[in-house]
């Protein structure tokens, strides 16, 4: 059996349904063998980075490792997507082929030191030097990607190894690691007891859950704990969906990317913060000012990663373990006779009233008419027209900030995806394809901007080719609007290299085979979204909006400047 067949047999054993990539000369021996493996389907993309972003989204939505592949010349192209996966802890196995290793020093075309490229942005990078190593390396890759703090693993296979005959076979898989979490670890028992004591003693406790809560699928335990102890729950932008946001105990997203005047006030007033699956990063904490490490708040931190627990704040209790397993242990230890009637707690009643007042104040925006489209009005129309079974994916900018702050997830789980660990443009369109293959029965909605669109426009052909219920929504403000606003609010109107010429996006979408729509006025949103969402083929909607320095989104530092300058803002 040749090395290429051994690799595909291992993928088949690990129940790999899809591999995202595109062909190249070093991959040809694998592709020739692939025609005999219809169960391991290949999805061809137009760019390797897009294929890797699709694998990222597939992994987040399916709870299986995402698999991407590229030829040696494309190994540099997947770096941005692998870096995002590394910092967002997405389990990906990135397969790159290579020229024969002994030709590297002879200046062989496409030869490059792949190991050095991937070393700092993967859990491990492995080069296969003998075909007999393939089963062992594949098992190691799945085990590393899915266990502990998940993340990407890089496997490099020279093309001559794919054609090498394997004299002995040890083709078997470790079923535990075909999905994630591969294994669940619980925090130390005594520390869990201490955490429970502090939660009971606190007057204004607050839970903040991050993306680790979603990877762990801990949403049922979060709801049970919040209701048992009467604790409000917020989330990070990346953790959105780990708690139902229509629940009375939900305060929504916190921080500088999706936090609101209401949610950030609740966080500021808390005397205890229980971080769960959260790395307390720059955006969650508004540059480590919300809260400040010097405020003296009681901090409990639960995370699978020993590197993150207590990394940025003095921590009274550090809990290192899987979120779902540790919260289940905590719930089993709590005396259910001590359950609080949270609806009767004065603080909770006050928070519910404050939340109601906050949303009432937004009604003017939600009911707005005219041109251009108000993003809050769009979020309202999206909420009212979106199919029950859906996945939302957003690029940075207008696409993400309003969705994060004002869209309320009704059913907990992985239904909203952001790439805000690094925040590169061009994530949403290719990610929509990965999400489609993970949940083909769902309607996939990708929110992108005209800035992001330029990075991945070619993948509209991929969407048209694979078909399915995918809707691309493009916010057109004829600029890199986030960069314009960043410059304006820090240095004044000194921006340049941020504006685009007018583009006919309708023609582009139609040329690629998508059904196009254009919305210039808020009154047309409901009709257009309803029509697009009730179509079983790919659709494209262009929506005209203002740049972020004209209508200021909920970014606390920007809002402060907007107030001084008399600009319209929402927070």
Query: How is the chain split among helix, strand and coil, in percent rounded to 5?
Result: 45, 15, 40
200: confidence class by pLDDT, cuts 50, 70, 90: very high
- State yes or no: pLDDT of 245 exceeds 90: yes
CATH dotted code for 362-569: 3.40.50.970
Rounded CA separation 455/425 (Å): 7
Check residue 338 and give its pLDDT. 83
Instruction: Give the strand pairing for 124-127 and 539-544.
Output: unpaired
Share the mean pLDDT of the chain.
97
The per-residue pLDDT for range 511-525, each reduced to its tens digit, is 999 999 999 999 999
CATH superfamily to which 189-354 belongs: TPP-binding domain (3.40.50.1220)
The per-residue pLDDT for range 445-486, each reduced to its tens digit, is 999 999 999 999 999 999 999 999 999 999 999 999 999 999
Rounded CA separation 230/341 (Å): 7
Helices (H), 35-107: 48-62, 79-88
Check residue 282 and give its pLDDT. 96
Does an H or E element contain 38, and which?
Answer: none
Check residue 256 and give its pLDDT. 97
119: confidence class by pLDDT, cuts 50, 70, 90: very high
The per-residue pLDDT for range 484-509, each reduced to its tens digit, is 999 999 999 998 899 999 999 999 99
**pTM score:** 0.97
CA angle (313, 482, 451) in 5-degree steps: 125
- State yes or no: pLDDT of 108 exceeds 90: yes
The per-residue pLDDT for range 146-159, each reduced to its tens digit, is 999 999 999 999 99
For 3-177, which CATH class? alpha beta
The per-residue pLDDT for range 46-95, each reduced to its tens digit, is 999 999 999 999 999 999 999 999 999 999 999 999 999 999 999 999 99
Helix (H/G/I), strand (E/B), else coil: 305: coil
336: confidence class by pLDDT, cuts 50, 70, 90: confident
Check residue 168 and give its pLDDT. 82
Rounded CA separation 414/395 (Å): 16
- State yes or no: pLDDT of 28 exceeds 90: yes
The per-residue pLDDT for range 345-385, each reduced to its tens digit, is 999 999 999 999 999 999 999 999 999 999 999 999 999 99
- Measuring CA to CA, which residue among 517, 396, 510 is closest to residue 460? 510
Rounded CA separation 396/448 (Å): 8
Check residue 169 and give its pLDDT. 84
Domain with CATH 3.40.50.1220 in the chain: 189-354
- State yes or no: pLDDT of 195 exceeds 90: yes
Report residue 417 as tokens.
Answer: 């995806």
Q: Which residues contact 6 (CB under 8 A, 6 or more apart)?
A: 131, 134, 135, 166, 169, 171
- State yes or no: pLDDT of 173 exceeds 90: yes
Domain with CATH 3.40.50.970 in the chain: 3-177, 362-569
Rounded CA separation 423/420 (Å): 4
């Amino acid at each position: 059996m040749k090395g290429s067949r051994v690799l595909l047999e291992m993928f088949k054993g690990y129940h790999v349904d899809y591999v995202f990539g595109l062909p190249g000369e070093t991959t040809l021996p694998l592709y020739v063998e692939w025609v005999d493996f219809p169960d391991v389907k290949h999805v061809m993309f137009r760019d390797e980075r897009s294929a890797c972003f699709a694998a990222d989204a597939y992994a987040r939505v399916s709870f299986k490792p995402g698999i991407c592949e590229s030829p040696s010349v494309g190994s540099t192209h997947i770096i941005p997507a692998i870096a995002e996966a590394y910092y967002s802890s997405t389990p990906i196995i990135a397969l790159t082929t290579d020229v024969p290793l002994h030709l590297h020093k002879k200046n062989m075309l496409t030869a490059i030191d792949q190991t050095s490229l991937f070393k700092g942005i993967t859990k491990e990078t492995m080069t296969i030097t003998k075909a007999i190593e393939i089963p062992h390396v594949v098992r190691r890759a799945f085990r590393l990607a899915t266990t502990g703090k998940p993340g990407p693993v890089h496997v490099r296979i020279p093309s001559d190894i794919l054609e090498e005959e394997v004299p002995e076979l040890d083709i078997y898989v470790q079923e535990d690691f075909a999905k994630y979490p591969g294994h669940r670890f619980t925090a130390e028992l005594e520390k869990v007891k201490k955490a429970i004591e502090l939660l009971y003693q606190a007057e204004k406790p607050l839970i903040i859950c991050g993306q680790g809560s979603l990877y762990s699928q801990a949403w049922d335990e979060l709801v049970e704990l919040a209701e048992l102890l009467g604790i409000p729950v917020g989330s990070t932008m990346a953790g959105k969906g780990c708690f139902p946001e229509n629940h009375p105990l939900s305060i929504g997203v916190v921080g500088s990317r999706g936090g609101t005047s209401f949610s950030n006030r609740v966080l500021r007033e808390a005397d205890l913060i229980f971080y769960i699956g959260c790395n307390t990063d720059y955006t969650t904490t508004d540059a480590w000012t919300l809260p400040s490490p010097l405020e003296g708040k009681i901090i409990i931190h639960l995370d699978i990663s020993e590197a993150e627990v207590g990394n940025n704040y003095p921590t009274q209790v550090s809990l290192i373990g899987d979120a779902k397993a540790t919260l289940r242990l905590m719930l089993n230890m709590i005396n259910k006779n001590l359950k609080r009637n949270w609806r009767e707690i004065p603080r909770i009643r006050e928070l519910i009233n404050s939340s109601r007042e906050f949303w009432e104040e937004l009604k003017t925006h939600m009911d707005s008419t005219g041109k251009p489209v108000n993003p809050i009005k769009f979020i309202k129309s999206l909420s009212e027209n979106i199919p029950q079974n859906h996945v939302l994916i957003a690029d940075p900018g207008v696409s993400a900030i309003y969705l994060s702050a004002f869209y309320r997830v009704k059913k907990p789980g992985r239904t909203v995806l952001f790439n805000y660990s690094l925040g590169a443009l061009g994530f949403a369109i290719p990610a929509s394809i990965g999400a489609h293959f993970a949940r083909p029965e769902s309607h996939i909605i990708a929110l992108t901007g005209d800035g992001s669109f330029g990075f991945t426009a070619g993948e509209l052909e991929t969407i048209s080719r694979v078909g399915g219920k995918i809707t691309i929504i493009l916010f057109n403000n004829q600029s890199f609007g986030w960069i314009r606003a960043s410059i304006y609010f820090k240095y004044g109107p000194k921006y340049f290299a941020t504006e685009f010429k007018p583009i006919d996006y309708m023609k582009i979408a139609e040329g690629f085979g998508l059904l196009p729509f254009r919305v210039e006025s808020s009154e047309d949103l409901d009709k257009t979204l309803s029509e697009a969402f009730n179509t079983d083929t790919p659709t494209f909607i262009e929506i005209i909006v203002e740049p972020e320095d004209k209508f200021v989104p909920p970014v606390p530092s920007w809002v402060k400047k907007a107030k001084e300058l008399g600009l319209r803002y929402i927070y």
